[in-house]
Amino acid sequence: MLTGYIDGLGLVFQLGTLLAIAGGTFLGIIMGVLPGLTSAMAIALLLPVTFGMPPVMGIGMLLGTLCGAGASGSIPAILLNIPGTPSSVATTFDGFPMAQKGEAGRALGLAIVASFFGGVASMVVLSLLAPPIAEFALRFGAAEYFSLSIFGLVIIASVAGKSLLKGLIAGLIGFFCSTIGTDPIAGVDRFTFGQLSLLTGINLLPALIGLFAVSQVLKDAFEYDPSNKLQNSPHKVDIARPRFIETLRNWRALLVGIVSGSVVGPVPGAGGSIASLVAYDQARRFSKTPEKFGKGHGAGIVSVESANNALLGGALIPTLALGIPGEAATAVLLGGLMIQGVTPGPMLFESQSGIIYGIFLAYLVANFFMLIIMCLGIKLFVRVLLVPRKQLISAIIVFCFIGVYGVDGDVFNLYIMLAFGLLGYFLNRYGFGTAPVILGLILGPIAESNLRRGLQTFGGDWTPFFTRPISVTFLVIACGLLALTLWQNYRTRQQDAAPDAA
Partner 1 sequence: MESGLSSLLSVSIDFETSHLFFPRIIHWIMAGLFVLILMTKVAPFMASVKRGERTLPIVGEARDNFRFIGTLVLIAAYFYFMAVVGDMFPYTGYGFLLVSMVFVLLMSLLYLHDWTKKALTIVVVNAIVAPSLAWFVLAKLFTITLP
Q: Give residues in contact with partner 1 (CB under 8 A).
A: 48-49, 51-52, 165-166, 168-169, 172-173, 175-176, 179, 183, 185-186, 188, 190-191, 214, 217-218, 221-224, 226, 390-391, 393-395, 397-399, 401-402, 405-406, 409, 411, 414-415, 418, 429-430, 447-448, 451-452, 455, 459-463
Min. distance of Cβ 335 from partner 1 in angstroms? 16
Nearest to 371, CA basis, from 17, 43, 72, 11 = 72
Min. distance of Cβ 191 from partner 1 in angstroms? 8
Min. distance of Cβ 81 from partner 1 in angstroms? 26
Position 106, amino acid: R
* DSSP-derived secondary structure for 164-225: HHHHHHHHHHHHHHHTSEE-TTT--EES-TT-GGGTT---HHHHHHIIIIIHHHHHHHHT--
Q: Is the dihedral of CA 15, 72, 159, 424 positive or negative?
A: negative
Angle between helices 91-100 and 298-322 (to 10 degrees): 150
Q: Considering beta carbons, is residue 136 or 191 the nearer one to partner 1?
A: 191
Min. distance of Cβ 377 from partner 1 in angstroms? 20
Q: Considering beta carbons, is residue 100 or 179 the nearer one to partner 1?
A: 179
Q: Considering beta carbons, is residue 48 or 268 the nearer one to partner 1?
A: 48
The radius of gyration of the chain from alpha carbons, rounded to an integer in Å, stands at: 22
Helical segments of 287-342, H only: 298-322, 328-339
Min. distance of Cβ 38 from partner 1 in angstroms? 20
Terminal C-alpha separation, the chain: 64
Q: Considering beta carbons, is residue 242 or 406 the nearer one to partner 1?
A: 406
Q: Is the dihedral of CA 440, 443, 445, 451 positive or negative?
A: negative
d(CA 448, CA 451): 5
Min. distance of Cβ 465 from partner 1 in angstroms? 11
Min. distance of Cβ 469 from partner 1 in angstroms? 19
Q: Considering beta carbons, is residue 341 or 459 the nearer one to partner 1?
A: 459
Min. distance of Cβ 45 from partner 1 in angstroms? 11
Question: Do 370 and 116 touch, CB atoms closer than 8 A?
Answer: yes
Q: Considering beta carbons, is residue 108 or 168 the nearer one to partner 1?
A: 168
d(CA 189, CA 46): 32
Q: Which residues pair with 81 in a beta bridge?
A: none
Q: Considering beta carbons, is residue 292 or 389 the nearer one to partner 1?
A: 389
Q: Considering beta carbons, is residue 231 or 463 the nearer one to partner 1?
A: 463
